Amino acid sequence: MGMLGENLQKLRYMFVECRFSLSTALRVGIQCLAAIEELHSLGFIHRDVKASNFTVNIESSSPLNVYIIDFGLCRAFRNSQNEIKPARDKAQFRGTTRYASITAHNEMEQSPRDDLESWFYMLIEMISSQLPWGDLHRTDRDEVKKMKENARTHDGMQQLLKNCPKVEFRRILKYLDGLSYQNQPDYGFITQLLQLAMKNYGIKADEPYDWQD
């Protein structure tokens, strides 16, 4: 592995509007998803997916790679026989309030789908610069949870996805919300939806990233 650069949160704050272009956000989002999938393939969930926990390599001669870091809240969701562990009846809140899944807010056992819900919020923030609940303090977990639940309504989703590819992102959220604790996410399906958004917006895979311009 080459030398790592800044995390995605710091890179985002380099820009006046504190957001990436749609081109950069979608392509980085695909790489973040691949990093999460690799962690899940090892039988672990991260439980604190957010932009500051992803870094990019800074070697200009190398293709861009995104790395997931900070495994302090990781938990094994498979046992030594590679079977999914039974969910506990109650689990303490783990994660960052802004990006935590509704399951985490409900203090229920998290699974791979919860990392992906956090990734989805992170991706929206990289595109829009802020989530609807972004101004709330991290201790206002109940209010943040209510706003995330409201984001599933028609008006709430319009606000959540106001700067995003709405058709593809609605499908991603609907898919994630349909997953259960036991389900294995279809990472390829989600990636295909992001690639479809790239195609629909005329984004090419080899475009410069915002920090390379």
Site of tokens 């991603």: 172
DSSP state of 210: G
Radius of gyration of the chain (CA): 17
Tell me which of 48, 70, 114, 213 is the catalytic residue: 48
Tell the burial category of 205 from Cβ atoms under 10 Å away from its Cβ (0-12, 13-18, 19+): exposed
- What angle do the packed helices 22-41 and 112-128 form, to 10 degrees? 170
Contact 85, 78 (CB under 8 A): yes
DSSP state of 78: B
* Known catalytic residue at 48: yes
Active site residues: 48
